Amino acid sequence: MTAAPASWLPLAIVAVMAATAHWLNHLASQPLPENDAAFRHDPELIVDNLVATAFDRDGNPRYILSAARMLHYTDDETTELTAPRFQHRSATSPTISAEAARGFISTRGDHVHLLDRVRLTRAATAGTPELVLTTDYLQITPEAEVMRTDRAVELHQGASSMRADNMLLDGKARSLELKGNVKGLYEPR
Q: Is pLDDT of 6 > 70?
A: no
Count how many domains the chain has: 1
**Mean per-residue pLDDT for 81-107?**
89
**Mean per-residue pLDDT for 81-105?**
89
| 13 part of a folded domain | no
**Mean per-residue pLDDT for 1-18?**
68
4 or 62: whose pLDDT is higher?
A: 62
| 71 part of a folded domain | yes
In this predicted structure, what is the pLDDT of residue 33? 61
Sign of CA dihedral 57, 59, 64, 68: positive
Q: Residue 105 sits in a domain of what CATH number?
A: 2.60.450.10
Interval 23-32: pLDDT, tens: 878 777 777 6
For residue 3, name the pLDDT band (cuts at 50, 70, 90): low
In this predicted structure, what is the pLDDT of residue 99? 94
| 20 part of a folded domain | no
CA distances (Å), 103 to each of 81, 142, 162, in order? 5, 15, 25
Backbone φ and ψ of 66, nearest 5°: -130, 160
**Interatomic CA distance for residues 145 and 123, integer angstroms:** 16
In this predicted structure, what is the pLDDT of residue 113? 93
| 10 part of a folded domain | no
| 131 part of a folded domain | yes
Cβ 86 vs Cβ 99: under 8 Å: yes
Cβ 122 vs Cβ 94: under 8 Å: yes
Q: Which of 144, 135, 145 minimizes the C-alpha distance to 180?
A: 135
Interval 40-88: pLDDT, tens: 777 888 889 999 888 888 888 888 889 999 998 887 788 899 999 999 8
Q: Which of 90, 39, 48, 92 minimizes the C-alpha distance to 66?
A: 48
What DSSP element (H or E) covers 8?
helix 5-29
- Identify the domain containing residue 161 by its residue range: 43-185
Interval 135-185: pLDDT, tens: 999 999 988 888 999 999 999 988 889 999 999 988 888 888 989 998 988
The neighbour count for residue 112, using CB atoms within 10 Å, is: 24
| 174 part of a folded domain | yes
**Mean per-residue pLDDT for 12-30?**
77
